[in-house]
Amino acid sequence: MESIVVKGGRKLSGEVVIGGAKNSALPLIAATLLAENGTSDLDNIPNLRDINTIVRLLEGMGAEITRSDNKLKIMTSAVNDFQAPYELVKTMRASILVLGPLLARFGKARVSLPGGCAIGARPVNLHIKGLEQMGAEIEVEHGYIIGQAKRLQGADISFDMPTVTGTENLMMAAVLAEGITHLRNAAREPEIVDLAVFLRKMGAQIEGEGTHTIVISGVEKLEGTDYRVMPDRIEAGTFMVAAGISAGDIIIKNAPLAALGGVISKLQEIGISIEPLTDFDEDAILAGTPVRVRRESLELHSLDVKTMPYPGFPTDMQAQIMTLLTLAQGTSVISETVFENRFMHVFELQRMGADIEVEGRIAVVRGVDTLSGAQVMASDLRASAGLILAGLAADGETAMSRVYHLDRGYSGFEKKLEALGADIKRIST
């Protein structure tokens, strides 16, 4: 097993480069299943456990994939197996993203139901309901979703609530369906825009991505193409908090600022200065911009945070901003409206001296003067990042176990922090 050990007190300085977005790369890789012929060349793919999992998943279906540095060359013309086995899906829920493409291109799929995870039950009923509206026959038995369809038909689908992978799955199902599909109350995340741009380059007809309603006109076939994944807005937001909590002063080389609106305004209100180093287009949500991030005031200011679907404050930044607020002056109220159990990091922060009270989906955070280093345990991907951020500011040493949670979504996180001056290392225990 591995742990990450960090000694607090260092002020971060220097430059960090943000990698490609995990939550864009995963649907983009799944979308290559839609290409009848031709190769898809994807660039800026982050080096993550979850990427390794979806690559293994597609190779198991017969896709030919070559990898060099952060590039993937994917050929799916020879795909002849339409299954996503439990052994792989249980390690990564996002495997559900192959369901839409498999039904669209091959008319059949057998995908393990993704289990829940630490942050919630994570049902996929909205994915299934939308596909059935498009004419797929779906059975759920023995823990598998078994689907088939002669040819999916366009449909008018309205999601009960915005679902990121649900919107992505139905987009990928609709691009080869017969007729027009409306996705209403669609999720608006930047990663969905990234996927739509890629699908359009493959030959799909899509409009409205990034708004509540996406309209897709099915086409006969799609071709492989090349594409560069957008920068990871959550990794960028995590490093912004790292600069703030360590009272540092860093340059983030390619932060997708236009995709971080809700995060930037909150961090500035808390007392972190975030200055773009070049002009940037507020509408260019897929572009990266160099930005200088530093603690502006000696004190951090408390404030209330409510996680919401994009463009609201992202749930994937909740653990990180909570960690920052444990050291703010005053009391902050954090409402986690997206997932039902995304406060697992609270118990570990309390062991470090944080004053937090949880009532259902509300956490009340009363600022303390210092945190103290402790042995802590990661519970999920973003909680693990939050605990390391706490260690950067804590008195003494913090040792975090279950590092595999971190490696699912952050590539070389401790190495990037070490390069910024943190006293941090990964040890085998």
Euclidean distance between CA atoms 172 and 179, whole angstroms: 14
Q: How far is CA 18 from CA 54, 266, 417, in A?
A: 21, 20, 12
Please classify residue 185 by burial: count the beta carbons closer than 10 Å to its beta carbon, then call 0-12 exposed, 13-18 middle and 19+ buried.
Answer: middle
Instruction: Quote the crossing angle between the two packed helices 164-174 and 190-202, to the nearest 10°.
Output: 10
Euclidean distance between CA atoms 295 and 247, whole angstroms: 5
Q: What residues form DSSP beta bridges with 215?
A: 182, 207
5 vs 321 by CB, closer to ligand EPZ = 321
Q: Which stretch binds ligand EPZ (CB under 6 A): 122-130, 214-222, 274-282, 357-365?
A: 122-130
Spell out a b/e string for 322-341, using b for 16 or more CB atoms within 10 Å of the CB, else e: bbbbbbbeeebebbbbbbee
Using an 8 Å Cβ cutoff, are 12 and 420 in contact?
Answer: yes
105 catalytic residue (yes or no): no
Task: Rule CB under 6 A: choose which of 60, 107, 120, 396 binds ligand EPZ.
Answer: 120
C-beta of 368: minimal distance to ligand EPZ in Å? 27
Q: Which stretch binds ligand EPZ (CB under 6 A): 82-90, 117-125, 142-150, 358-366?
A: 117-125
Q: Which stretch binds ligand EPZ (CB under 6 A): 22-30, 69-77, 222-230, 245-253?
A: 22-30
122 in contact with ligand EPZ (CB under 6 A): yes
379 in contact with ligand EPZ (CB under 6 A): no
126 vs 376 by CB, closer to ligand EPZ = 126
Residues 23-52 that bind ligand EPZ (CB under 6 A): 23, 26
**Who's near 319: CB < 8 A, 6+ residues apart?**
342, 345, 382, 383, 385, 386, 387
Point out the catalytic residue in the list 88, 117, 138, 197: 117
409 in contact with ligand EPZ (CB under 6 A): yes
163 vs 289 by CB, closer to ligand EPZ = 163
Closest C-alpha among 162, 326, 293 to residue 318 = 326
Structure tokens at 326: 């444990």
Euclidean distance between CA atoms 366 and 110, whole angstroms: 48
x-marked contacts with ligand EPZ along 84-113 as a string, rule CB under 6 A = ----------x-------------------
Euclidean distance between CA atoms 69 and 98, whole angstroms: 24
405 in contact with ligand EPZ (CB under 6 A): no
Residues 134-173 that bind ligand EPZ (CB under 6 A): 161, 163-166
Residues 332-351 that bind ligand EPZ (CB under 6 A): 338-339
124 in contact with ligand EPZ (CB under 6 A): yes
Indicate the length of the chain as a whole number: 429
Q: How many residues bind ligand EPZ (CB under 6 A)?
A: 24
Task: Rule CB under 6 A: choose which of 204, 381, 387, 388 binds ligand EPZ.
Answer: 381
Catalytic residue numbers? 117
Residues of this chain that interact with ligand EPZ (CB under 6 A) are 22-23, 26, 94, 120, 122-127, 161, 163-166, 187, 315-316, 338-339, 381-382, 409
